[in-house]
Structure 1
Amino acid sequence: MSPDHLLVLGLFLAVIAVPAMISAYSDGRRPLVGAAVALAAVAVLLHGNTRQPDGYRLADIPDAVYGVIGDMIR
């Protein structure tokens, strides 16, 4: 996987983890699954950022997301 794919996967996992943790908290359960997904998101984001030679800046994220979407469409 390219660093862009890892960045987008990590962002997707982070977005999915937030509702899972909120749902578990509102039901009175421990947010174990949400925390595990959030931990996986951080790991994937860090791995993608270290594979990029200069790392990612905030302005690089939209280009990476659109590039990955373009790769999926092709």
Structure 2
Amino acid sequence: MDPDLLLVIGLIVGVLAIPSLLSALSDSRAPSAGAIMVLIAGVLLVVAFQNKAGGYTVAEIPHIFFKVIGRYTH
């Protein structure tokens, strides 16, 4: 699978986990759904970094994000 796609999906899942974690913590519940989402995001990011030959830099991430979105919308 494309490491750029894995990176983008991992970032999206990671960002979507934040509201779930905050909601569970503010209601004094166990953040199980948020924790699973963070775990999935972490695995996707690790696989993406391992499959990319030179790795990623922080400056490349916005370009990669829009390149992947553009590839699947056109």
TM-score normalised by L of structure 1: 0.95
Give the AA of the match of 1:44.
L
- Structure 2 matches for 1:4-15, cutoff 5 A? 4-15=4-15
Partner residue in 1 for 2:21? 21
Partner residue in 1 for 2:73? 73
Please state how far the C-alpha of 1:68 moved relative to its aligned partner.
Answer: 0.8
1:28 is paired with a residue whose SS is coil
Partner residue in 1 for 2:62? 62
Give the AA of the match of 1:62.
P
Unaligned runs of 5+ in 1: none
Percent identical pairs in the alignment equals 41
Taking the aligned partners of 1:19 and 1:38, their CA distance within structure 2 comes to 11
Please state how far the C-alpha of 1:27 moved relative to its aligned partner.
Answer: 1.3
Please state how far the C-alpha of 1:15 moved relative to its aligned partner.
Answer: 0.1
